[in-house]
A and B are shown apart, each in its own frame.
Chain A
């Protein structure tokens, strides 16, 4: 009836006030939370690296030798004048704004503790800009190559160190036998079988491997003489890694390249392993680190050079290494005061001490790494197993169906139980009843695995459920058994999602203290655990203990360094898992 009127007045107005209010309120809330966290991390970082005592000259030196070249590298990779202009504007404008704001606050409001305007500029402007540019740069070919190489270097070192750490508690002699008798024959059979399309060889691989593993455990006590540790590591780890690298390059059709990619890192690792002892480094760990870093790096470099695209990017690690070196030389020559960080090599390689200056986190780091490795394996295996069973195998009706539903509801409830209760369960079940001991790595790992199991199961179920039914039906119609469909179609499809859930759950496990206190884990131990049943500590426990010390140096510097170490390990772990996941997704 009123069509003419409303047309005359446009279409009228519909109120959006509530939506807009909601939008800004939620935005405000999240920004406030992030800013609070950011400020905390800034102060923790300042304490851990003693940045409050860094002279402006020191900051300027490293800004010029390290940050600026890195930014230029990213800009070069992005190759976009608009980005360059924007970044120059932000860096320049930010300098003025931050300096002015800082001065104004200091003059009129309060003095800001342990922060200079240079540091504020660094954290507020330079750090976010660098992160943004790293992201933009990594999308260019040159940047992608640079970061790919850097990632392999850092990742190789990290994984190498983790493997070396695990061998502190696992018996390398059993591993030697298991590898020689089980893993190697099984892998050889499998490789032969898939090359020649001989299915029987492939099928035989698993039983052969299992028999070898069992034999290894039995023969451990029987066999009397073993090669030295170094030879064992060389034979069971470095040689196979080099072989895989060489194989990958060979598959790309380069014989010479394969020999170089496999041989050079292997030779370096061997040399490093044998020479490490003379400079006081553990030989076997050095060997693994060099092998695990060298081979992937060599494979990657070969691929990039072979492709011929973005080769310049390979210079990024040199740029960064050179920047640090030049910075150190300049600071040395200039004689400006440098900060004395709490988080230094001594901190991560030495035991706790009565004095703050000598305090180290090494035993706790080892404890945490071992626990996390065990928890990751346990919760992944159990979580995936349970979720596959719940999603793919159980019937929807009948007694089994009702039982499944009951189980399902309880798993959801278990996820909501406070972690202290899990601690109590671990204490009663694993420490007392099963006799795994108070505060041992086994008890802790089992307890933490139970704690995160519900989260792993639920997220894995979600991932499995999101695999389209079309694919399952397609596989079933080919005459696949339920197991074959699960293994070949469902799990590969669900893998990225499963991994995401496991990452989140592990992040929770690594930071838990309450259950560890309940099972009697020590807050401080002075030597790294030597077996799964020795007393151990974990990083959050040690940090918590230090936070209660009367000396301010402990409560600020040492604790801050611990927090940063914990965060670095966590981010590293998650980063690795995310890379793995992205690979799996791209593999599709």
Chain B
């Protein structure tokens, strides 16, 4: 962890939310680590986007990544499932460990890695296929041999979408509303039963009602999956996450701790300023 400052502040809660922080009551210490980064540096050409980040993300918890725009949250997320490989100018130094293995080792097949890590994007991006085919996509490409329909149903239930679409599984995924599309993408991500789910601002394109549905969903997902979520919404981070990592400009991880601690009593003045909206 890289929170090294000694700058303490008062203990009043910095933001007010209706929900108490860490509402799910999962204890946020002494678990196994799902994903860890060690001395991670990422460059786009000459520009550095992640600066010497080390972090350990616990299993079956919701970890929120927050920070101002351009501070490297998405970049960090993409390092975990090696989606950065697609960006030609991107160069990664250091380790990202998943399941005890450095994913940047030469013998790691990024495609196989991604089959263990689901991802949900900022803008819902269902395929122009039927709802059923969307959810079954991962199963299809992985050569799943079991009962596809059963798995589709389970996943849609897991994404709290089943009741709304169970009669129209053959209609196009694009005919759904934005919020439903995003839940469809979540169903698609969980269908192959990954270990980790990465979410990059999954609710920023949605209205508050749809967003709160997804928030509830994320809470349930953490029963089974490790969820790592990037968000710009402080209340959201406070409501749904167990741990929060604060990145600041330049791609530095300035503080990483239990969510309650970050929002009530951060170590760093800069973090407090960011959370209370004084900058960023």
Q: Does A60 sit at the interface, judged by CB under 8 A?
A: no
8 Å CB contact of A484 from B121, B127, B141, B188 = B141
Quote the shortest CB–CB distance from A402 to chain B (angstroms).
Answer: 14
Quote the shortest CB–CB distance from B183 to chain A (angstroms).
Answer: 15
> Can you name the residue of chain B whose Cβ is closest to the Cβ of A485?
B141
Query: Do A478 and B172 form a contact, CB below 8 Å, given A470-B125, A473-B86?
Result: no
8 Å CB contact of B127 from A199, A203, A474 = A474
Is A493 in contact with B114, judged by CB distance below 8 angstroms? Answer: no
8 Å CB contact of A473 from B125, B138, B144, B192 = B125
Q: Does B44 sit at the interface, judged by CB under 8 A?
A: no
- Mark interface residues in A479-509 (1 if CB within 8 Å of B CB, else 0): 1110010001100110000000000000000
Q: Does A278 sit at the interface, judged by CB under 8 A?
A: no
* Chain A neighbourhood of B172, CB < 8 A: 588
Query: Do A476 and B86 form a contact, CB below 8 Å, given A203-B143, A481-B111?
Result: yes
Interface centre among A396, A397, A468, A477 (most CB of B within 10 A): A477
Is B119 in contact with A477, judged by CB distance below 8 angstroms? Answer: yes
> Can you name the residue of chain B whose Cβ is closest to the Cβ of A474?
B125
Q: Does B115 sit at the interface, judged by CB under 8 A?
A: yes
| Docked complex Cα distance between A198 and B145 (Å) | 6
Place the interface of chain B in its size category. Answer: 35 or more
Interface centre among B112, B129, B147 (most CB of A within 10 A): B129
Q: Does A271 sit at the interface, judged by CB under 8 A?
A: no
Query: Do A197 and B147 form a contact, CB below 8 Å, given A473-B121, A479-B111, A479-B192?
Result: yes
| Docked complex Cα distance between A101 and B188 (Å) | 68
Quote the shortest CB–CB distance from A252 to chain B (angstroms).
Answer: 13
Is A197 in contact with B146, judged by CB distance below 8 angstroms? Answer: yes
* Chain B neighbourhood of A484, CB < 8 A: 141
* Chain B neighbourhood of A397, CB < 8 A: 88
Query: Do A478 and B125 form a contact, CB below 8 Å, given A397-B88, A473-B83, A588-B172?
Result: no
| Docked complex Cα distance between A484 and B138 (Å) | 11
* Chain A neighbourhood of B88, CB < 8 A: 395-397
* Chain A neighbourhood of B188, CB < 8 A: 474, 478
- Mark interface residues in A418-455 (1 if CB within 8 Å of B CB, else 0): 00000000000000000000000000000000000000
* Chain A neighbourhood of B143, CB < 8 A: 199, 203
| Docked complex Cα distance between A468 and B115 (Å) | 22
* Chain A neighbourhood of B141, CB < 8 A: 475, 478-481, 484, 488
- Mark interface residues in B130-144 (1 if CB within 8 Å of A CB, else 0): 000000011011111
Q: Does B208 sit at the interface, judged by CB under 8 A?
A: no
* Chain A neighbourhood of B138, CB < 8 A: 478-479
Q: Does B244 sit at the interface, judged by CB under 8 A?
A: no
Is A480 in contact with B148, judged by CB distance below 8 angstroms? Answer: no
Q: Does A471 sit at the interface, judged by CB under 8 A?
A: yes
| Docked complex Cα distance between A470 and B112 (Å) | 20
| Docked complex Cα distance between A492 and B172 (Å) | 14
List CB contacts (< 8 Å) of A520-534 with chain B: none
Q: Does B155 sit at the interface, judged by CB under 8 A?
A: no
Q: Does B21 sit at the interface, judged by CB under 8 A?
A: no
* Chain B neighbourhood of A199, CB < 8 A: 143-145
* Chain B neighbourhood of A471, CB < 8 A: 125, 127-128
Query: Do A474 and B185 form a contact, CB below 8 Å, given A197-B145, A203-B143?
Result: yes
Quote the shortest CB–CB distance from A488 to chain B (angstroms).
Answer: 7
Query: Do A479 and B123 form a contact, CB below 8 Å, given A473-B86, A492-B128?
Result: no
Is B137 in contact with A477, judged by CB distance below 8 angstroms? Answer: no
Quote the shortest CB–CB distance from A478 to chain B (angstroms).
Answer: 5
Q: Does B174 sit at the interface, judged by CB under 8 A?
A: yes
| Docked complex Cα distance between A476 and B121 (Å) | 12
Query: Do A479 and B115 form a contact, CB below 8 Å, given A197-B145, A199-B145?
Result: yes
* Chain A neighbourhood of B112, CB < 8 A: 479
* Chain B neighbourhood of A468, CB < 8 A: 125
* Chain B neighbourhood of A203, CB < 8 A: 143
| Docked complex Cα distance between A588 and B146 (Å) | 27
* Chain A neighbourhood of B144, CB < 8 A: 197, 199
| Docked complex Cα distance between A340 and B118 (Å) | 71
Q: Does B81 sit at the interface, judged by CB under 8 A?
A: yes
Is B137 in contact with A478, judged by CB distance below 8 angstroms? Answer: yes
Is B123 in contact with A470, judged by CB distance below 8 angstroms? Answer: yes
| Docked complex Cα distance between A480 and B143 (Å) | 11
| Docked complex Cα distance between A488 and B137 (Å) | 9
| Docked complex Cα distance between A225 and B125 (Å) | 57
| Docked complex Cα distance between A49 and B174 (Å) | 50
Query: Do A478 and B128 form a contact, CB below 8 Å, given A197-B148, A198-B145?
Result: no
List CB contacts (< 8 Å) of A373-426 with chain B: 395-397
> Can you name the residue of chain A whose Cβ is closest to the Cβ of B137?
A478
Is B142 in contact with A475, judged by CB distance below 8 angstroms? Answer: no
* Chain B neighbourhood of A396, CB < 8 A: 88
**Besides A197-B148, A488-B137, 9 other A-B contacts (C-beta < 8 A):** A471-B127, A474-B188, A475-B127, A477-B121, A477-B189, A478-B114, A478-B137, A478-B138, A479-B141
Q: CB within 8 Å of B: which residues of A?
A: 197-200, 203, 395-397, 468, 470-471, 473-481, 484, 488-489, 492-493, 588
Q: CB within 8 Å of A: which residues of B?
A: 81, 83, 86, 88, 111-116, 118-119, 121, 123, 125-129, 137-138, 140-148, 172, 174, 185, 188-189, 192
User: What are 18 A-B interface contacts by the 8 Å CB criterion?
Assistant: A198-B145, A199-B144, A203-B143, A395-B88, A397-B88, A470-B121, A470-B123, A474-B185, A474-B188, A475-B127, A476-B83, A477-B121, A479-B112, A479-B141, A479-B142, A479-B192, A480-B141, A588-B129
